[in-house]
Structure 1
Amino acid sequence: MIVLSNPTIIANEINVIHSLFEEGLQLFHVRKPDYSIKEMISFIAQINPEFRQQLVLHSHHELIENFKINRIHFTEEKRKKYNLEKYKNRDIHLSTSTHSITDFNALAPEFEYAFLSPVYPSISKENYFPETDLLEAIKNRTNTATKLIALGGINAENIEKTLTAGFDNIALLGTIWNTENTIKNFKSCQEIVLSYLQ
Protein backbone atom coordinates (compact mmCIF):
# COMPACT_ATOMS: atom_id res chain seq x y z
CA MET A 1 0.00 0.00 0.00
CA ILE A 2 1.17 3.52 -0.83
CA VAL A 3 0.54 6.86 0.87
CA LEU A 4 1.14 10.24 -0.76
CA SER A 5 2.12 13.26 1.29
CA ASN A 6 -0.29 16.14 1.56
CA PRO A 7 0.86 18.70 -1.03
CA THR A 8 1.00 21.46 1.59
CA ILE A 9 2.31 21.59 5.16
CA ILE A 10 0.37 19.57 7.73
CA ALA A 11 0.74 19.94 11.50
CA ASN A 12 2.80 17.15 13.07
CA GLU A 13 3.43 15.71 9.59
CA ILE A 14 6.83 14.11 10.20
CA ASN A 15 5.61 12.31 13.34
CA VAL A 16 2.61 11.00 11.39
CA ILE A 17 4.90 9.76 8.59
CA HIS A 18 7.04 7.91 11.15
CA SER A 19 3.90 6.37 12.70
CA LEU A 20 2.68 5.22 9.27
CA PHE A 21 6.00 3.47 8.60
CA GLU A 22 5.93 1.89 12.04
CA GLU A 23 2.45 0.53 11.23
CA GLY A 24 3.81 -1.16 8.11
CA LEU A 25 3.51 1.44 5.33
CA GLN A 26 5.41 0.15 2.28
CA LEU A 27 6.03 3.33 0.28
CA PHE A 28 5.62 7.05 0.97
CA HIS A 29 5.46 9.45 -1.97
CA VAL A 30 6.93 12.86 -1.18
CA ARG A 31 4.70 15.06 -3.32
CA LYS A 32 5.25 18.72 -2.45
CA PRO A 33 4.93 20.46 -5.84
CA ASP A 34 5.52 23.98 -4.53
CA TYR A 35 8.54 23.17 -2.36
CA SER A 36 11.85 24.76 -3.26
CA ILE A 37 14.92 22.53 -3.18
CA LYS A 38 15.84 24.03 0.19
CA GLU A 39 12.39 23.21 1.63
CA MET A 40 12.58 19.70 0.21
CA ILE A 41 16.00 19.10 1.76
CA SER A 42 14.68 20.29 5.13
CA PHE A 43 11.60 18.04 4.83
CA ILE A 44 13.47 14.87 3.91
CA ALA A 45 16.17 15.50 6.51
CA GLN A 46 13.54 15.23 9.24
CA ILE A 47 12.48 11.74 8.15
CA ASN A 48 14.29 8.95 9.97
CA PRO A 49 17.11 7.62 7.70
CA GLU A 50 15.89 4.04 8.27
CA PHE A 51 12.83 4.87 6.13
CA ARG A 52 14.67 6.59 3.24
CA GLN A 53 14.57 3.48 1.01
CA GLN A 54 10.77 3.66 1.22
CA LEU A 55 10.55 7.28 0.07
CA VAL A 56 9.60 8.18 -3.51
CA LEU A 57 10.51 11.66 -4.77
CA HIS A 58 8.08 13.50 -7.07
CA SER A 59 10.31 16.53 -7.55
CA HIS A 60 13.94 17.60 -7.08
CA HIS A 61 15.02 14.17 -8.24
CA GLU A 62 18.67 15.21 -7.94
CA LEU A 63 18.33 14.80 -4.16
CA ILE A 64 18.27 11.02 -4.43
CA GLU A 65 22.09 11.05 -4.28
CA ASN A 66 22.23 13.22 -1.12
CA PHE A 67 19.74 11.09 0.80
CA LYS A 68 20.46 7.68 -0.73
CA ILE A 69 16.88 7.42 -2.02
CA ASN A 70 16.40 5.00 -4.92
CA ARG A 71 12.84 5.75 -6.00
CA ILE A 72 11.56 8.57 -8.20
CA HIS A 73 8.14 9.40 -9.60
CA PHE A 74 7.29 11.21 -12.82
CA THR A 75 4.14 13.23 -13.33
CA GLU A 76 2.43 12.58 -16.65
CA GLU A 77 3.79 15.87 -18.00
CA LYS A 78 7.40 15.17 -16.93
CA ARG A 79 7.27 11.60 -18.22
CA LYS A 80 6.42 12.79 -21.72
CA LYS A 81 9.37 15.23 -21.76
CA TYR A 82 11.96 13.16 -19.97
CA ASN A 83 14.62 10.82 -21.30
CA LEU A 84 14.63 7.71 -19.13
CA GLU A 85 17.94 6.48 -20.55
CA LYS A 86 19.93 8.07 -17.71
CA TYR A 87 18.19 5.74 -15.24
CA LYS A 88 18.81 2.53 -17.17
CA ASN A 89 21.18 0.07 -15.53
CA ARG A 90 21.01 1.97 -12.23
CA ASP A 91 19.33 0.64 -9.12
CA ILE A 92 16.53 3.20 -9.26
CA HIS A 93 12.86 2.30 -9.16
CA LEU A 94 10.66 4.40 -11.45
CA SER A 95 6.94 5.13 -11.14
CA THR A 96 4.60 7.53 -12.90
CA SER A 97 1.06 8.91 -13.08
CA THR A 98 -1.53 8.13 -15.75
CA HIS A 99 -5.12 9.19 -16.23
CA SER A 100 -6.34 6.73 -18.86
CA ILE A 101 -5.87 3.03 -19.46
CA THR A 102 -4.56 3.87 -22.95
CA ASP A 103 -1.69 5.87 -21.45
CA PHE A 104 -1.05 3.13 -18.90
CA ASN A 105 -0.90 0.46 -21.61
CA ALA A 106 1.63 2.56 -23.56
CA LEU A 107 4.12 2.90 -20.67
CA ALA A 108 7.73 1.82 -21.07
CA PRO A 109 8.53 -1.38 -19.13
CA GLU A 110 11.03 0.61 -17.00
CA PHE A 111 8.12 1.81 -14.85
CA GLU A 112 7.65 -0.50 -11.89
CA TYR A 113 4.16 0.82 -11.17
CA ALA A 114 1.85 3.62 -12.20
CA PHE A 115 -1.03 5.47 -10.61
CA LEU A 116 -4.28 5.55 -12.56
CA SER A 117 -6.52 8.33 -11.30
CA PRO A 118 -8.99 9.52 -10.29
CA VAL A 119 -10.84 6.24 -9.77
CA TYR A 120 -13.51 7.92 -7.61
CA PRO A 121 -14.30 11.57 -6.79
CA SER A 122 -11.23 12.95 -5.04
CA ILE A 123 -11.30 13.40 -1.26
CA SER A 124 -8.47 15.94 -1.28
CA LYS A 125 -9.17 17.91 -4.48
CA GLU A 126 -12.48 19.72 -4.77
CA ASN A 127 -14.45 19.08 -7.97
CA TYR A 128 -11.98 16.46 -9.22
CA PHE A 129 -14.05 13.60 -10.62
CA PRO A 130 -13.38 10.65 -12.93
CA GLU A 131 -14.15 11.51 -16.55
CA THR A 132 -14.52 7.83 -17.41
CA ASP A 133 -15.36 4.72 -15.41
CA LEU A 134 -11.83 3.45 -14.72
CA LEU A 135 -13.12 0.28 -13.06
CA GLU A 136 -14.68 -0.57 -16.42
CA ALA A 137 -11.78 0.80 -18.49
CA ILE A 138 -9.16 -1.44 -16.88
CA LYS A 139 -10.79 -4.45 -18.54
CA ASN A 140 -8.79 -3.20 -21.56
CA ARG A 141 -5.47 -3.45 -19.72
CA THR A 142 -2.70 -4.95 -21.84
CA ASN A 143 0.36 -3.76 -19.89
CA THR A 144 1.28 -6.46 -17.38
CA ALA A 145 4.92 -5.37 -16.89
CA THR A 146 3.86 -2.35 -14.82
CA LYS A 147 1.79 -2.66 -11.63
CA LEU A 148 -1.48 -0.70 -11.74
CA ILE A 149 -2.18 1.38 -8.63
CA ALA A 150 -5.59 2.97 -7.96
CA LEU A 151 -5.55 6.58 -6.74
CA GLY A 152 -8.31 9.11 -6.14
CA GLY A 153 -11.13 8.81 -3.64
CA ILE A 154 -9.87 5.51 -2.22
CA ASN A 155 -11.16 4.67 1.27
CA ALA A 156 -11.99 1.62 3.37
CA GLU A 157 -15.47 1.37 1.79
CA ASN A 158 -14.30 0.95 -1.81
CA ILE A 159 -10.92 -0.82 -1.59
CA GLU A 160 -12.27 -4.33 -2.08
CA LYS A 161 -14.33 -3.30 -5.11
CA THR A 162 -11.25 -1.57 -6.56
CA LEU A 163 -8.94 -4.56 -6.17
CA THR A 164 -11.62 -6.94 -7.44
CA ALA A 165 -11.90 -4.82 -10.60
CA GLY A 166 -8.24 -5.57 -11.39
CA PHE A 167 -6.03 -2.97 -9.74
CA ASP A 168 -2.85 -4.43 -8.24
CA ASN A 169 -2.81 -2.12 -5.23
CA ILE A 170 -4.04 1.23 -3.92
CA ALA A 171 -2.64 4.63 -2.96
CA LEU A 172 -4.11 6.91 -0.31
CA LEU A 173 -4.05 10.68 0.05
CA GLY A 174 -7.28 12.32 1.25
CA THR A 175 -8.25 9.33 3.41
CA ILE A 176 -5.04 9.88 5.36
CA TRP A 177 -4.66 13.66 5.51
CA ASN A 178 -8.24 14.98 5.41
CA THR A 179 -9.10 13.46 8.77
CA GLU A 180 -8.17 13.47 12.42
CA ASN A 181 -8.10 9.65 12.40
CA THR A 182 -5.02 9.31 10.20
CA ILE A 183 -3.50 6.17 11.72
CA LYS A 184 -6.88 4.53 12.35
CA ASN A 185 -7.88 5.12 8.71
CA PHE A 186 -4.54 3.79 7.50
CA LYS A 187 -4.84 0.61 9.57
CA SER A 188 -8.44 -0.01 8.40
CA CYS A 189 -7.37 0.29 4.76
CA GLN A 190 -4.21 -1.77 5.31
CA GLU A 191 -6.21 -4.59 6.87
CA ILE A 192 -8.52 -4.80 3.84
CA VAL A 193 -5.63 -4.73 1.36
CA LEU A 194 -3.65 -7.39 3.22
CA SER A 195 -6.62 -9.72 3.55
CA TYR A 196 -7.42 -9.30 -0.16
CA LEU A 197 -3.88 -9.72 -1.49
CA GLN A 198 -2.91 -12.69 0.71
Structure 2
Amino acid sequence: MIVITNPISIANEIDTIYSLFENGLGLLHIRKPDFSAAEMRSFLLEIKSDLREQLVLHSHHHLASAFGINRIHFSESERKKTAALFGKSAFETYKTKGFHLSTSIHRMDDFNALDNNFEYAFLSPIYPSISKENYSSKTDLFEAIKNRINYKTKLIALGGIESKNTEQTLKNGFDDVALLGTIWNSNYPIENFKLCQQIALSF
Protein backbone atom coordinates (compact mmCIF):
# COMPACT_ATOMS: atom_id res chain seq x y z
CA MET A 1 0.00 0.00 0.00
CA ILE A 2 1.25 3.47 -0.94
CA VAL A 3 0.33 6.84 0.56
CA ILE A 4 1.28 10.21 -0.94
CA THR A 5 1.73 13.19 1.37
CA ASN A 6 -0.54 16.20 1.21
CA PRO A 7 1.13 18.71 -1.13
CA ILE A 8 1.15 21.38 1.58
CA SER A 9 1.93 21.09 5.27
CA ILE A 10 -1.07 20.30 7.48
CA ALA A 11 -1.71 19.92 11.20
CA ASN A 12 -0.52 16.69 12.83
CA GLU A 13 1.01 15.49 9.57
CA ILE A 14 4.06 13.83 11.11
CA ASP A 15 1.96 12.13 13.80
CA THR A 16 -0.35 10.77 11.08
CA ILE A 17 2.65 9.55 9.11
CA TYR A 18 3.93 7.61 12.12
CA SER A 19 0.49 6.12 12.71
CA LEU A 20 0.31 5.01 9.08
CA PHE A 21 3.66 3.23 9.35
CA GLU A 22 2.62 1.64 12.64
CA ASN A 23 -0.42 0.23 10.83
CA GLY A 24 1.56 -1.35 8.03
CA LEU A 25 2.15 1.37 5.42
CA GLY A 26 4.67 0.12 2.87
CA LEU A 27 5.81 3.28 1.09
CA LEU A 28 5.27 6.99 1.71
CA HIS A 29 5.77 9.31 -1.26
CA ILE A 30 7.03 12.71 -0.14
CA ARG A 31 5.39 15.10 -2.58
CA LYS A 32 5.78 18.73 -1.54
CA PRO A 33 6.06 20.57 -4.87
CA ASP A 34 6.46 24.04 -3.37
CA PHE A 35 9.05 23.11 -0.75
CA SER A 36 12.49 24.64 -1.04
CA ALA A 37 15.47 22.36 -0.46
CA ALA A 38 15.76 23.75 3.08
CA GLU A 39 12.08 23.09 3.80
CA MET A 40 12.38 19.57 2.45
CA ARG A 41 15.44 18.94 4.59
CA SER A 42 13.59 20.12 7.70
CA PHE A 43 10.60 17.91 6.87
CA LEU A 44 12.76 14.83 6.36
CA LEU A 45 14.55 15.45 9.65
CA GLU A 46 11.22 15.00 11.43
CA ILE A 47 10.96 11.40 10.21
CA LYS A 48 12.97 8.79 12.09
CA SER A 49 15.97 7.43 10.23
CA ASP A 50 14.79 3.82 10.47
CA LEU A 51 11.77 4.69 8.29
CA ARG A 52 13.65 6.45 5.53
CA GLU A 53 14.06 3.34 3.39
CA GLN A 54 10.27 3.46 3.04
CA LEU A 55 10.27 7.05 1.79
CA VAL A 56 10.07 8.04 -1.87
CA LEU A 57 11.34 11.50 -2.76
CA HIS A 58 9.50 13.47 -5.47
CA SER A 59 11.72 16.54 -5.55
CA HIS A 60 15.16 17.69 -4.41
CA HIS A 61 16.51 14.28 -5.35
CA HIS A 62 20.00 15.43 -4.37
CA LEU A 63 18.96 15.10 -0.72
CA ALA A 64 18.19 11.39 -1.00
CA SER A 65 21.62 9.93 -0.30
CA ALA A 66 22.27 12.19 2.67
CA PHE A 67 19.06 10.99 4.31
CA GLY A 68 19.47 7.31 3.48
CA ILE A 69 16.59 7.43 1.01
CA ASN A 70 17.00 5.03 -1.91
CA ARG A 71 13.71 5.65 -3.73
CA ILE A 72 12.99 8.60 -6.00
CA HIS A 73 10.00 9.49 -8.13
CA PHE A 74 9.86 11.37 -11.42
CA SER A 75 6.73 13.27 -12.36
CA GLU A 76 5.67 12.82 -15.95
CA SER A 77 7.11 16.18 -16.95
CA GLU A 78 10.39 15.58 -15.09
CA ARG A 79 10.76 12.12 -16.65
CA LYS A 80 10.28 13.50 -20.16
CA LYS A 81 12.57 16.47 -19.50
CA THR A 82 15.32 14.26 -18.09
CA ALA A 83 15.04 11.82 -20.99
CA ALA A 84 15.17 14.67 -23.52
CA LEU A 85 18.26 16.22 -21.92
CA PHE A 86 20.27 13.14 -20.96
CA GLY A 87 18.60 10.14 -22.58
CA LYS A 88 17.50 6.97 -20.83
CA SER A 89 21.03 6.52 -19.52
CA ALA A 90 20.22 9.07 -16.81
CA PHE A 91 17.72 6.66 -15.24
CA GLU A 92 20.14 3.77 -15.63
CA THR A 93 22.72 5.81 -13.71
CA TYR A 94 20.31 6.23 -10.81
CA LYS A 95 19.71 2.49 -10.75
CA THR A 96 23.44 1.77 -10.87
CA LYS A 97 23.79 3.91 -7.75
CA GLY A 98 21.21 1.76 -5.98
CA PHE A 99 18.08 3.87 -6.39
CA HIS A 100 14.61 2.43 -6.98
CA LEU A 101 12.70 4.53 -9.51
CA SER A 102 9.01 5.24 -10.01
CA THR A 103 7.12 7.70 -12.20
CA SER A 104 3.70 9.09 -13.11
CA ILE A 105 1.75 8.63 -16.33
CA HIS A 106 -1.72 9.57 -17.54
CA ARG A 107 -2.09 7.43 -20.66
CA MET A 108 -1.68 3.69 -21.16
CA ASP A 109 0.40 4.30 -24.29
CA ASP A 110 2.96 6.09 -22.12
CA PHE A 111 2.87 3.29 -19.55
CA ASN A 112 3.44 0.64 -22.20
CA ALA A 113 6.41 2.64 -23.50
CA LEU A 114 8.20 2.80 -20.13
CA ASP A 115 11.53 1.01 -19.96
CA ASN A 116 12.63 -1.36 -17.23
CA ASN A 117 14.23 1.39 -15.16
CA PHE A 118 10.91 2.14 -13.45
CA GLU A 119 9.62 -0.36 -10.89
CA TYR A 120 6.11 1.09 -10.86
CA ALA A 121 4.08 3.95 -12.24
CA PHE A 122 1.03 5.87 -11.06
CA LEU A 123 -1.80 6.05 -13.58
CA SER A 124 -4.22 8.84 -12.73
CA PRO A 125 -6.83 10.02 -12.18
CA ILE A 126 -8.81 6.78 -12.03
CA TYR A 127 -11.80 8.42 -10.34
CA PRO A 128 -12.63 12.09 -9.78
CA SER A 129 -9.99 13.38 -7.40
CA ILE A 130 -10.80 13.79 -3.72
CA SER A 131 -8.04 16.35 -3.15
CA LYS A 132 -8.36 18.37 -6.39
CA GLU A 133 -11.59 19.99 -7.50
CA ASN A 134 -12.84 19.17 -11.02
CA TYR A 135 -9.93 16.83 -11.71
CA SER A 136 -10.91 13.67 -13.54
CA SER A 137 -9.80 11.66 -16.55
CA LYS A 138 -11.18 12.46 -20.00
CA THR A 139 -10.91 8.78 -20.93
CA ASP A 140 -12.11 5.54 -19.33
CA LEU A 141 -8.90 4.22 -17.81
CA PHE A 142 -10.52 0.87 -17.03
CA GLU A 143 -11.02 0.44 -20.75
CA ALA A 144 -7.52 1.71 -21.48
CA ILE A 145 -5.92 -0.82 -19.13
CA LYS A 146 -7.16 -3.62 -21.39
CA ASN A 147 -4.44 -2.52 -23.81
CA ARG A 148 -1.69 -3.11 -21.27
CA ILE A 149 1.38 -4.85 -22.68
CA ASN A 150 3.93 -3.73 -20.07
CA TYR A 151 3.99 -6.25 -17.22
CA LYS A 152 7.53 -5.54 -16.05
CA THR A 153 6.44 -2.28 -14.45
CA LYS A 154 3.78 -2.38 -11.74
CA LEU A 155 0.70 -0.30 -12.49
CA ILE A 156 -0.56 1.70 -9.50
CA ALA A 157 -3.99 3.37 -9.46
CA LEU A 158 -4.13 6.94 -8.18
CA GLY A 159 -6.92 9.49 -8.00
CA GLY A 160 -10.11 9.23 -5.99
CA ILE A 161 -9.11 5.92 -4.42
CA GLU A 162 -11.01 5.06 -1.23
CA SER A 163 -12.35 1.97 0.49
CA LYS A 164 -15.56 1.84 -1.54
CA ASN A 165 -13.70 1.51 -4.87
CA THR A 166 -10.44 -0.25 -3.94
CA GLU A 167 -11.80 -3.72 -4.72
CA GLN A 168 -13.20 -2.64 -8.09
CA THR A 169 -9.89 -1.00 -8.97
CA LEU A 170 -7.80 -4.08 -8.23
CA LYS A 171 -10.27 -6.37 -10.01
CA ASN A 172 -9.83 -4.24 -13.13
CA GLY A 173 -6.15 -5.09 -13.39
CA PHE A 174 -4.20 -2.64 -11.26
CA ASP A 175 -1.36 -4.08 -9.20
CA ASP A 176 -1.86 -1.76 -6.23
CA VAL A 177 -3.43 1.54 -5.21
CA ALA A 178 -2.07 4.83 -3.90
CA LEU A 179 -4.00 6.92 -1.40
CA LEU A 180 -4.01 10.69 -1.02
CA GLY A 181 -7.34 12.46 -0.54
CA THR A 182 -8.94 9.69 1.52
CA ILE A 183 -6.09 10.16 4.00
CA TRP A 184 -5.45 13.89 4.14
CA ASN A 185 -8.94 15.20 3.35
CA SER A 186 -10.57 13.08 6.03
CA ASN A 187 -11.13 13.25 9.77
CA TYR A 188 -10.44 9.51 9.91
CA PRO A 189 -7.19 8.97 7.98
CA ILE A 190 -6.00 5.86 9.80
CA GLU A 191 -9.40 4.17 9.70
CA ASN A 192 -9.62 4.85 5.95
CA PHE A 193 -6.12 3.52 5.41
CA LYS A 194 -6.86 0.31 7.31
CA LEU A 195 -10.05 -0.31 5.33
CA CYS A 196 -8.25 0.07 2.00
CA GLN A 197 -5.32 -2.01 3.24
CA GLN A 198 -7.60 -4.84 4.33
CA ILE A 199 -9.21 -4.95 0.90
CA ALA A 200 -5.89 -4.81 -0.94
CA LEU A 201 -4.41 -7.61 1.18
CA SER A 202 -7.30 -9.89 0.21
CA PHE A 203 -6.08 -9.97 -3.41
TM-score normalised by structure 1 residue count: 0.97
d(CA) in 2 for partners of 1:56, 1:84: 15
Q: 2:6–2:184: 8 Å Cα contact kept in structure 1?
A: yes
Query: Are residue 69 (structure 1) and residue 83 (structure 2) matched?
Result: no
**Which residue matches 2:51?**
51
5 Å matches for 1:91-102? 91-102=98-109
In the alignment, which residue of structure 2 is the partner of 1:110? 117
Q: Which amino acid aligns with 1:10?
A: I
The CA distance in 2 between the partners of 1:25 and 1:8, in whole Å, is 20
Match of 1:89 in 2: 96
Q: In structure 1, what is the Cα distance between the partners aligned to 2:143 and 2:169?
A: 10
Q: Which amino acid aligns with 2:38?
A: K
The Cα shift of 1:90 comes to 2.2
For structure 2, the residue ranges without an aligned partner over 5 or more in a row are: 83-89
**Residue 137 of structure 1, aligned match among 124, 132, 144:** 144
Q: How big is the shift at 1:88?
A: 3.4
Unaligned runs of 5+ in 1: none
Query: How many Å apart are 1:84 and its aligned residue?
Result: 1.6
Runs of 4+ deviating beyond 3 Å = none
Task: Show the counterpart of 2:11.
Answer: 11
Does residue 193 of the first structure (1) align with residue 196 of the second (2)?
A: no
The 5 A counterparts of 1:157-176 are 157-176=164-183
- How many equivalent pairs are there? 196
Residues in 1 aligned to 2:59 and 2:95: alpha-carbon distance in whole angstroms: 19
Structure-2 separation of matches of 1:21 and 1:85:
30
* 8 A contact 1:18–1:48 mirrored in 2: no
Query: Aligned partners of 1:89 and 1:61: how far apart in 2?
Result: 15
Percent identity of equivalent pairs? 63
